[in-house]
Amino acid sequence: MHSYEYIRPADQAAAIAAASTTTTAQQGANVRFLAGGTTLIDLMKLNVETPARVLDINRLPLDRIEAASGGGLRVGAMVRNSDLANDAKVQQEYSVLSQAILQGASAQIRNMATVGGNLLQRTRCVYFRDTAMACNKREPGSGCPAITGHNRTLAILGVSEHCIATNPSDMCVALAALEATVHIQGTKGSRAVAFGDFHLLPGTTPERETVLEPGDLITHVSLPPPIVPSKQVYLKLRDRASYEFALASAAVVLTIETGNITYARIALGGVGTKPWRSAEAETALTGRPANDGTFRQAAEAALGASTPQSENTFKIELAKRCLTQALRMAMAR
Ligand SMILES: Cc1cc2nc3c(=O)[nH]c(=O)nc-3n(C[C@H](O)[C@H](O)[C@H](O)COP(=O)(O)OP(=O)(O)OC[C@H]3O[C@@H](n4cnc5c(N)ncnc54)[C@H](O)[C@@H]3O)c2cc1C
Ligand code: SF4
């Protein structure tokens, strides 16, 4: 692993000031905040991330889960994934989030991983993680060997001719369905970004994955007041039952009255270049009878714009079945 300067700022302002002394604080490799380290250290060992400075933010007071004004929840960026998944209010009122986190990684990794770090975890595309290979995301302009190479696990929604990498997060799929907001503190003050606007499509700049600017620190994520009562399910399909990323996943939040769907929030994982909220599926469900026919129509709508590559056409039907089954499971709750 290459050498780097390690800094442990005592407060948020110091962290942001230190991070913003370079023009590449978030998107490039010169300065990195260190949270749980389960993505960053991994990639530093592979020389994929080569920051000159690592700012350890573990001492910042961002590790609380609190009631937010207006009835929602405020989750600090340093809250560990395990603590969030096991929080009583999250389990009761935002259970899709708890389910999603608990189906990710391993207990040990969830104990280290933080909310902020999970939002910024990087793709598992094998070419991205191998510095001997070209990769537009790691080295802009070098090419995308995945398009004609190993792409079985890669994305079918939101792809571009420059990158087809899947966003690997489970937690983010649930946050998309729950319509969370990401709160950011930067050199010019604080701002709030709707979850659906936080991650970017690859387009012509796959190296730019979020709206974060140099020096930006994620301080917390907020959840709107819970939809009560609602039926919530996160279903994850993968090559093995644990410790594996999703080939396809679905987060579902539904309300049903007298057999009809009155509210639907749907997001997909494992198939999109970003956590994939499906407005198409939500429209196909809302106001319709809650039955298998409606569920399948929603799944068809959600995957309608799929662009598969040589090895991942199977994901289209897999994702449709995943969403259909998640909706069935929600009905049984
Ligand atoms: C073997 C393995 C299996 C895994 N399986 C899964 C899985 O099945 N599902 C899944 O969803 N995830 C999985 N993960 C990924 C895991 O969830 C992430 O690595 C973790 O969430 C990252 O959080 P962290 O706190 O460790 O981030 P770090 O590694 O500390 O940071 C990640 C990135 O975020 C930046 N950052 C961190 N906090 C902030 C902040 N507050 N503001 C601004 N920038 C910040 C860092 O600078 C860095 O660039 C797996 C990881 C491993 C190693
Ligand atoms: S899919 Fe994206 S991350 Fe993978 S090789 Fe292509 S450019 Fe790199």
Which DSSP string corresponds to 66-110? EEPTTS-EEEETT-BHHHHHH-HHHHHHSHHHHHHHHTSS-HHHH
Ligand 1: residue of 12, 40, 102, 236 to mutate (most ligand atoms within 8 A of CB) is: 40
Give pLDDT tens digits along the chain (333 positions): 567 788 887 777 776 666 665 554 455 658 899 999 999 999 999 999 999 999 999 999 999 999 998 999 999 999 999 999 999 999 999 999 999 999 999 999 999 999 999 999 999 999 999 999 999 999 999 999 999 999 999 999 999 999 999 999 999 999 999 999 999 999 889 999 999 999 999 999 999 999 998 889 999 999 999 999 999 999 999 999 889 999 999 999 999 999 999 999 999 999 999 999 999 999 999 999 999 999 999 999 999 999 999 999 999 999 999 999 999 999 999
Q: How far is the CA of 201 from the centre of ligand 2 (A)?
A: 13
Q: Is the CB of 171 under 6 A from ligand 1?
A: yes
Residue 320's pLDDT is 98
> Which pLDDT value is given to residue 4?
78
Ligand 1 pocket, 112 CB below 6 A? yes
pTM, entire model: 0.96
Q: How far is the CA of 233 from the centre of ligand 1 (A)?
A: 23
* Of 24, 46, 129, 283, the residue nearest 300 (C-alpha): 283
Ligand 2 centroid, distance to 104 Cα (angstroms): 22
Per-residue b/e over 12-41, b at no fewer than 16 CB within 10 Å?
eeebbebbbebeebbebebbbbbbbbbbbb
User: Which numbered ligand comes closest to the C-alpha of 269?
Assistant: 1
Q: Compute the distance from residue 133 Cα to the ligand 2 centre, in Å.
A: 10
Find the 285 Cα to ligand 1 centroid distance in Å: 33
H helices of 206-286, where? 279-285
Q: Which ligand is nearest to the CA of 312?
A: 2
Cβ burial of 224 (10 Å; 0-12, 13-18, 19+) is: middle
Nearest ligand by distance to the CA of 30: 1
Ligand 2 pocket test: pick from 136, 138, 205 the residue with the most ligand atoms within 8 Å of its Cβ: 136
Atom number, ligand 1, closest to the C-alpha of residue 42: 53
- Taking residue 267's Cβ as centre, other Cβ atoms within 10 Å add up to 31
The burial class, CB within 10 Å (0-12 / 13-18 / 19+), for 2 is: exposed
